[in-house]
Structure 1
Amino acid sequence: MSPAVITLLILLLAAILFLTEKLPVAVTALLSALLLYITGVVDAETIFSGFTNNVVILITGMFVIGASLFETGVAKKIGQLITKFAKTEKQLLLAIMLIGAGLSAFLSNTSTTAVLMPIVIMIAASSGFSSSKLLMPLAYATALGGMITLVGTNGNLAVQGVMENENVPVFGFFEFAYIGIPLTIVGIIYMMTIGYKLIPDREGGTMIGDLDLSKIENEEKNENHTPVKQFMSVAVLIIAIIFMVFEEQIGVPLHVVSIMGAVVLVVTRTMTEKQAYRSLDLSTIILVAAMMPMATALGETGAANMIADSVLGIVGGDASPYVLTGIIFCITALLTSVMSNTAAAALMAPIGLVLAVSIGADPKAVMMTVAVGASAAYASPIGTPPNTMIYGPGNYTFMDYIKCGFPFLVIQLIICVIVVPMIWPF
């Protein structure tokens, strides 16, 4: 049996376990990585390489920075400010999605989610609303906002990199906004109407790692709620945001910035060491890290190419550009549900470029479809770090993502097939 087939079988097993939740999601992810090693698909270095991956390190640091907003009482003040203008759950949902999409257009989706998540949980707890009704819209908003600019998500950069290597005219910084803004508007409307009804309303969701947000917030006296510590918490966050926006000019990677910020918070005693450890959601960190060997295996064994070739083979080489656009979107969206959006974009971009040339279509139209599809990980908790980060605090199940995310995937497919050819004619 070829490594590619073995990889697909292990992926199928993981999907079944994720859907049925017979095992905790983090355990399922670790089991998948171990099976890949036992069957010889990946080596010993690869199996735990995800734990040193930049995204995992970024998540770790941002968990601490995000939690500091709560520990110092900043989240409470921000929450009070937002609830002053947003009185109902629907108004809160709108505010959260607008803020999340706006920030993620210039910051990483992961960073935006990590910073806003404790604030959203605090608002839900203090207002008596269900955090599960607010966290999934937050994750979706960060994905949508990431499609507005070139730096909004690494998937956009991966597509741009392939185009540069092949000497194809590249996208401008805000050119993604032509499709990103319409999708964001439709996404907000969807989550406030159809999506809102599909999101479960569950109790719980007041935990980030081992940090019980509601319990600490209910304490009348908290020595951490001092002006100095609040200033430090906000200062670290703002400086981290500035470094992330100007990453290329400053030259400090995002994951290094997040860890630097976390260390500064502990060194300055804005947070204690125990508080920092408590803020880490190990289930999320393990899930993201342990699924990375699967993404590596899909790419290196050719399993992902087998999926793409099989679907494209059914369509045929003489398919219309519109049909091809839809197919490319579907394949990319499928891949990004089981691997990172960066990996999915990097995998599909060369395929899309070849197909565009073969049918005489504008490469920009096809490549934009790949970029949009790579960000469409709404129907899976493992498709993107923000989806994974809200999994525990929102008390969601795998099926919750499918129920709410799949209808929006269909809507996004329709918009993509209609809007992309209008902006970038074939």
Structure 2
Amino acid sequence: MTAATITLLILAAAAVLFVTEVIPLAVTAMSVAVVLTLTGVLDAKAAFSGLMDSNVILFAGMFVVGQALFETGVATKLGNSVVKIAGKSEKALLAAVMIVAAGLSSVLSNTGTTAVLMPVTISIAAAAGFSRGKLLMPLALAAGLGGMITLVGTPPNLVVKGAIEKAGLGTFGFFEFGLIGIPLTIAGIIYMLTIGYKLIPDRGVDQEEVAAAVKAEAGNKTANSTKQMISILVMIGTVLAMIFEKQLGVGLHVSATIGALVLVITGVMTDKQAYRAIDWTTIFLFAGMLPLAQALDKTGAGKMIADVVIGLIGKNASPYVITAGLFLLACSLTQFMSNTASTALLAPIGIAIAKGLGADPRAVLMAIAIAASCAFATPVGTPPNTLVLGPGNYKFMDYVKVGTPLIVVMFVVSVALIPMIWPFFK
């Protein structure tokens, strides 16, 4: 059996395990690294090189920096202040919730943003006399949209950055994702204020649950003003350092690490809180799947997949057809599996397809990353969707009804803009 065939079998097995989650995602990813070593496709150093990747360090650092805003109560105070400005208008409140969620999730964890704003949204909806079900799904969807705006907004963005750098084909800037992420977020908010708003179910809820959630929030995330100020300054400083990465000559992962260290040294967070802040599933998932990309390239397996896809699309296909095909593939996968996993699976294949067509891989990778973030049509597609399922009293089909048209909106905007912003052929 050739190394390419073995690599393809490992890829297929990983895809099945990611979708079914028979075993934890992180275990699947690290198993890929182990099997690549045992089968001789890669040596041990190459197979476990993902653990030393700068993006893994970046992930860990930003988990800590972002969590500090939650631990000190800064994110909650910000959410309360901005949401209350909306007053008694339900649509104004919906818009405010979505704007705040999108803004926070552009630099913080989508899951953390939703978790912090959910009890705030519930309490405001209760005070205004509105059904929380009308506001919680927009909150979760906005958290997903906001993640598309910056490099650190969501793991898929960092995954494609790592993939293109690993291939020696350039990189993506911190705010480069905003060129497509901001238009998509605006389009998503407009959709939710119009068509989406009408599709969201308006069901009664258990008021005891509301009171419990509000009480839990009131007794959570307390800290003194000094810690809050330090956490804000560290976040601002870290983001600014990332924006001016080239001018400063300091890598993104170094800036994130410095920010995390400052928070622990100043006592804003304890070392144990910092450890807990890191989503180790994301870390090991990313680290375990990076070597598979290397194996796909080294053995020629990626080129084999690319040749099949190109054969279906056609070598003379327009950039819009290529974008549409890859978007639909990534978007379909991400409804039932981790967006990080689906991106990690498709990024190396996307690069191979771009090379086969003689196209710029940046456009291909951007389409994959954006599509992987469009996990709007199921409650299991992304953690924010799952978080609001119970409190919003939603059913599985509610996500299908509201999320599917939103995906269509994302698809149309992406296919129209991505080839214009990142031309396939120069």
Q: Which amino acid aligns with 1:15?
A: A
Number of equivalences: 381
What's the offset of the Cα at 1:44?
0.7
Q: How far apart, in 2, do the equivalents of 1:249 and 1:190 lie?
A: 39
2-structure distance, mates of 1:123, 1:59:
22
SS in structure 2 of the partner of residue 375 of structure 1:
helix
For residue 234 of structure 2, what is the aligned residue in structure 1?
236
**Structure 1: segments with no counterpart, 5+ residues:** 166-170, 202-212, 357-362, 382-386
* Residue identity in the other structure for 1:272: T
Q: Which residue does the alignment assign to 1:286?
A: 284
Q: Residues of 1 paired with 2:375 and 2:356: CA distance?
A: 24
Shift in alpha-carbon separation, 1:95–1:369, aligned structure 2, 3 A: farther
Aligned to 1:121: 115
In structure 1, the residue matched to 2:31 is 31
Aligned counterpart, 1:42 = 42
Task: Note the 1:43-122 alignment, pairs <5 A.
Answer: 43-86=43-86, 94-95=95-96, 98=99, 112-114=107-109, 117-122=111-116
Q: Whole-Å Cα distance in 1 between the matches of residues 299 and 91 of structure 2? A: 46
Query: 1:318 Cα shift?
Result: 5.0
Deviation, 1:15, is: 1.7
Deviations 1:94-142 (A, max 9, x none): 44654576688xxxx6xx133x653431121344368776445423332
Change (3 A) 1:55 1:194: farther
Q: Give the aligned residue type for 1:263.
A: L
Against the structure 1 CA distance between its residues 276 and 373, is the aligned structure 2 distance closer, same or farther, given a 3 Å change threshold? closer
Report the CA distance between 1:274 and its aligned residue: 1.9
What SS does the corresponding residue of 1:143 show, helix, strand or coil?
coil
Distance 1:24 1:89, change over 3 A: farther
Residue 256 (structure 2) aligned to one of 258, 262, 267 = 258
Counterpart residue number, 2:5: 5
2:4–2:300 CA contact under 8 A, matched in 1: yes
Aligned to 1:22, the other structure's residue is in SS state coil
Greater displacement, 57-66 / 82-91: 82-91
Q: What do the CA deviations read for 1:351-382 (whole angstroms, capped 9, x no partner)? A: 44x2x6xxxxxx8xx9646643453223679x
Question: Which amino acid in the other structure matches residue 80 of structure 2?
Answer: Q
Cα distance in 1 between the residues matched to 2:226 and 2:117: 23
Q: Which residue of 1 aligns with 2:125?
A: none
For residues 117-171 of structure 1, the C-alpha deviation after alignment (integer angstroms, 9 at most, x for no partner) is: 5343112134436877644542333225669xxxx87858988999999xxxxx9
* In 1: Cα distance, 2:54 partner to 2:287 partner: 10
Distance 1:157 1:23 in 2: 25
Q: 1:162 to 1:39 in 2, by over 3 A?
A: closer
Amino acid in structure 1 at the alignment position of 2:119: A
TM-score (norm 1): 0.69
Quote the RMSD (CA, aligned, Å).
Answer: 4.9
Q: Which residue of 2 is the match for residue 306 of structure 1?
A: 304
Task: Check the 8 A contact 1:137/1:191 in 2, yes or no.
Answer: no
Q: Report the TM-score when normalising by structure 2.
A: 0.69
Contact kept in structure 1, 2:309 and 2:353, CA below 8 Å: no
Determine the C-alpha separation between the residues in 2 that align with 1:407 and 1:301. Answer: 40
In the other structure, the counterpart of 2:187 is: 186
Q: 1:228 to 1:40 in 2, by over 3 A?
A: same
Q: Distance in 2 between matches of 1:180 and 1:7?
A: 33
Deviates more, 1:68-77 or 1:333-342: 333-342
Deviation at 1:313, TM superposition (A): 1.7
The letter of the residue matching 1:125 is P
Q: Aligned equivalents of 2:327 and 2:83: distance in 1? A: 38
For residues 388-411 of structure 1, give each alpha carbon's deviation from its aligned partner in whole angstroms, at most 9, with x where no partner exists: 886997899xx99x9688876655
Given that residues 64 and 277 in structure 2 are in contact (C-alpha distance below 8 angstroms), is that contact kept between their aligned partners in structure 1?
yes
| Structure 1 pair 251–132 and aligned structure 2 pair: CA distance change class (3 A) | farther
Residues 42 and 297, structure 1, Cα contact 8 Å, conserved in 2: yes
Give the aligned partner of residue 207 of structure 2: none
Residues 177-227 of structure 1: CA deviation (Å, up to 9, x unaligned): 77665444334445665599799x9xxxxxxxxxxx99985537x7x6112
Letter in 2 for 1:219: G
After superposition, the Cα gap between the structure-2 partners of 1:330 and 1:285, relative to the gap in structure 1 and judged at 3 Å, is: same
Counterpart Cα distance in 1 of 2:50 and 2:166:
23
- Is the Cα contact below 8 Å between 1:247 and 1:253 reproduced in 2? yes
Find the counterpart in structure 2 of residue 210 from structure 1.
Answer: none
Segment drifting more, 69-78 vs 333-342? 333-342
Q: Alignment identity in percent?
A: 40
Query: Tell me, what secondary structure is at the counterpart of 2:371?
Result: coil
Moved more, 264-273 or 341-350: 341-350
Which residue of structure 2 lines up, in the alignment, with residue 359 of structure 1?
Answer: none
Q: Answer yes or no: is the 8 Å Cα contact 2:149–2:175 preserved in 1.
A: no
SS in 2 for 1:23: coil
Distance 1:174 1:27 in 2: 32
Q: What letter is aligned with 2:53?
A: N
